[in-house]
Amino acid sequence: MSSDESGMGRRGFLRAAAGATAATGAVGTATAQEETESGDDYPGSGQTEEVVVGPGGSLVFEAENLQILQGTTVDFVWDSDGHNIVVESQPEGANWEGTEGGSEELYDEGHEYSHTFEMLGTYEYVCVPHKGAGMVGTIEVVEEISTPAPASGPPEIPDSAKTLGIAATIGMGSTLGLAYFLMRFGGDYDS
């Protein structure tokens, strides 16, 4: 059957498919923009991150510094006993209160606590009984996750490493030369 008999040739089919794909993409983009602009949805909505409280009994939060998208929920999971989360600072207008009971209430292994971060900015928190031991954390809420720029070119080698490499090469060459000389001309040791 020729393309004239079927009603649509290969080019016509490809044009129609391309048009349908473009229309679908435009509708999806418009819907996403509408949700974000209305405040009902954020870039991180539906995403979760986990912070382990006291992993393996250590006095830290893992991850200590966390960068998340606006609207992301952070699940705090206790891996050891006697910890809490008390908010030290947060952006103006934010409503994070930390764990119930403030600085007085402590929670043990197996406890879980979650909070969804919608206000942009930096949130600093501590475990009150272990703050002096360095049990502090930071969550930075951003519109877009930043990644460090890749280094351009090969890494810089310090002069001390270059000097050490040259000295090691000379020392190894001298040792091998001396060993060859002694093996070749060292004399007879069998007497």
Looking up residue 79, the CATH number of its domain turns out to be 2.60.40.420
135 and 53 in a single domain? The answer is yes
| Residue 81 burial (CB count, 10 A) | 13
52 and 137 in a single domain? The answer is yes
- Full domain range(s) for residue 106: 48-142
Average pLDDT score over the chain = 80
Would you name the residues annotated as active-site residues?
83, 127, 130, 135
19 and 86 in a single domain? The answer is no
74 and 28 in a single domain? The answer is no
Q: What is the mean pLDDT of residues 18-30?
A: 43
Is residue 105 in a domain?
Answer: yes
58 and 133 in a single domain? The answer is yes
Query: Among residues 127, 142, 157, which one ends one of the domains?
Result: 142
Domain count, the chain: 2
pLDDT at 7 over 80: no
pLDDT at 108 over 80: yes
Q: How far apart are CA 155 and CA 161, in angstroms?
A: 13
| One-character DSSP codes across the chain | --HHHHS--HHHHHHHHHHHHHHHHHHHHHHHHHHHHTTS--TTTT-EEEEEESGGG-SSEESSEEEEETTEEEEEEE-SSSB--EEEE--TT-----STTTTT--B-TT-EEEEEE-S-EEEEEE-GGGGGGT-EEEEEEESS---PPPPPSSPPPPHHHHHHHHHHHHHHHHHHHHHHHHHHHS-----
Beta sheet of 65-69, edge-to-edge order: 65-69, 136-142, 121-126, 86-89
17 and 82 in a single domain? The answer is no
What pLDDT does 154 receive? 67
pTM comes to 0.57
- Residue 51 tokens, joined: 């912070």
56 and 132 in a single domain? The answer is yes
pLDDT at 38 over 50: no
Q: State the pLDDT confidence band at 31, using cuts at 50, 70 and 90.
A: very low
21 and 54 in a single domain? The answer is no
What pLDDT does 149 receive? 54
Is residue 152 in a domain?
Answer: no
